[in-house]
Chains A and B, each alone.
Chain A
């Protein structure tokens, strides 16, 4: 099976812009979770989607949003980018959403200037 893929792998944006990141889960997996990884805060949970529904959300401002399509692919969007949004954004997929069976993608590295 192909692994979790994320596009793009690298992205440079300026403050105030918005960005959309994409995650394609492992075939057959219906759950996609998103995490933000920064040197200071480590990995922090953003949200989780299952069958196009957001089931769980972390403690991030409303500028961070996501969605999932019927083919389980997921996108996350960050509006009005701030310098502090510079991070590695990781998605993880699993069949049912259980953290015990999730696999991470390679991440998208976002740099906000």
Chain B
């Protein structure tokens, strides 16, 4: 089955700096890669996703890149703010026909004011 590795497990950055979280996946048939943000005590919320026919996607301060050949994808957050502090999860699936997400183990991001 699919296996998703996520690094780093914890990340501290100064407010205004950039943060990068990286994930690798094992199933070459995976073609949908979402990222979730989970604040303390709250539910995971989808913040951005990318499909395998796209190499990069941006949404304001957040961007995701995908390298299908190397089977890795990354989340980039620029100009970090204290409210970005949360646990971020990457995930992979076989896309629209799939009913299952395989998650990485999460990255706890702390943005220091």
Contact = CB atoms under 8 A, between A and B. Distances in A.
Interface stretch (B12-20, B63-71, B91-99): B91-99
A48 B100 CA distance: 8
B101 A98 contact: no
Chain B binding surface, main DSSP class: loop
Interface string A41-83: 1111100101000011011000000000000000000000000
Interface of A: 31, 33, 35, 40-45, 48, 50, 55-56, 58-59, 90, 97-100, 102, 104-107
Interface of B: 1, 32, 34, 42-45, 49, 89, 91, 93, 95-106
Contacts of B104: 42
Nearest to B45: A104
B92 to A, nearest CB: 10
Contact of B43 (A40, A48, A107): A107
A26 to B, nearest CB: 13
A106 B100 contact: no
Given A105-B43, A106-B42, A45 B106 contact: no
Contacts of B91: 43, 99
B100 A45 contact: yes
Contacts of A107: 43
A60 to B, nearest CB: 13
Q: Which interface residue of A33, A40, A42, A97 has the most chain B CB atoms within 10 A?
A: A42
A48 B105 CA distance: 21
A90 B97 contact: no
23 contacts: A33-B100, A40-B105, A42-B89, A42-B104, A42-B106, A43-B103, A45-B102, A48-B100, A50-B99, A55-B99, A56-B100, A58-B100, A98-B98, A99-B34, A99-B91, A99-B95, A99-B98, A99-B101, A100-B95, A102-B101, A104-B43, A104-B45, A105-B43
